[in-house]
Every structure is written in C-alpha cells, then in structure tokens.
Amino acid sequence: MPSNINWLTLAMALVVAAPTAACSVHAQAGPPSASAKTSASGGASAHSEAKVSVGGSAGAVVECHGGESVTIADRVIETAGNGVEAHGGCTVRLSRVTIRAGGVGLEAHGGSRIVIQDSTVHGDLAAIELHGMSRVEAERTTFQGRVETHGLGKVEDKGGSQFE
C-alpha cells in the first residue's frame, strides 16, 4: 500500500461508514507523516501527525459509547468543549496526549473506563468528571483543574501522577 495515504482520513471513513459504530473521533487531520494512532470499532487504525482542533464544537473531540474501545496516542487535543467523553461501558486509552479543554478534560459516565499515561489534561471547568461507576486509571499524568466524582466514580493513580 502506498505510504502517502492519510491514515486518519481512512479510519474516519471506516468509522463513519459503519452505522453500528458507537464511537467517534472528531478531528481535523494534518499531514499523513507520523505517529498518532486512533483505534475505533472493527480495529480501524489511523496514523497522522495532526493536532486535533475543534474550537467551538458542541461535542467532545473524542467520544465513545457502549462496549466500544478507542485508543489515542501522541496527540494534542484542543477544544472549547470537552476533550474526551466516554459513556455506557466504553474504554478510552490515552498515551502521550495533551488535552486543553474549555469544558471538562475527561468525562465518563455509566461504567466507562479511561486509561491515561504520560499525558497532560487541562479542563477549565474540570480536569476530570466521573459519574456512576466510571473510572480513570492514570499513570505519570498531570491533571490541571478540579476532579469531580459523582456516585461511585473513581480516580486511581497508578503512580507518578500530579493533581494541580
């Protein structure tokens, strides 16, 4: 396969084309030359060096629902809204990600799980907001902003994380 294919565009087309896909990544991709990896339902993968930028978007940049799984690595996510939202048992894995959100950096509901390592999360309203039995598992990550837990929501620091 040619190496100049924009893999993020390909993965987005696969996610959009699958009507049963319960997760989505809202992004504006840049050059196809690099290191970010996004996995969604059906094992679709993409590589791109783009900064994810959605300024003013009403929805989250990364969104997942149901039993789906999303993996994001080596990305900068900037948005006026929420950075990551996980609902209904979804799993989101983040590695070496910087999130700058005008809303909430990481938000999870209904038993969802967010695993994050070697990252920075800033939220103007809150760095983390958890509802129900959702949880965040963090390792070597800096959180800037409030941490809110409702119900049985839980933040677990696996080591090396900072809460500012």
Domain boundaries, the chain: 7-163
Residue 58 reports pLDDT greater than 60: no
Residue 40 reports pLDDT greater than 60: no
Measured at the CA of 47, the angle between CA 31 and CA 2, to 5 degrees, comes to 75
- The answer, as to whether pTM is greater than 0.85, is no
Identify the bridge partners of residue 36 per DSSP, sorted by sequence position: 48
Rounded Cα distance between 35 and 87, Å, is: 27
Side by side, which strands form the sheet with 104-108?
23-25, 62-65, 84-87, 104-108, 126-130, 147-149
Residue 2 reports pLDDT greater than 70: no
Q: What's the pLDDT at 59? A: 59
Rounded Cα distance between 80 and 124, Å, is: 9
Residue 81 reports pLDDT greater than 50: yes
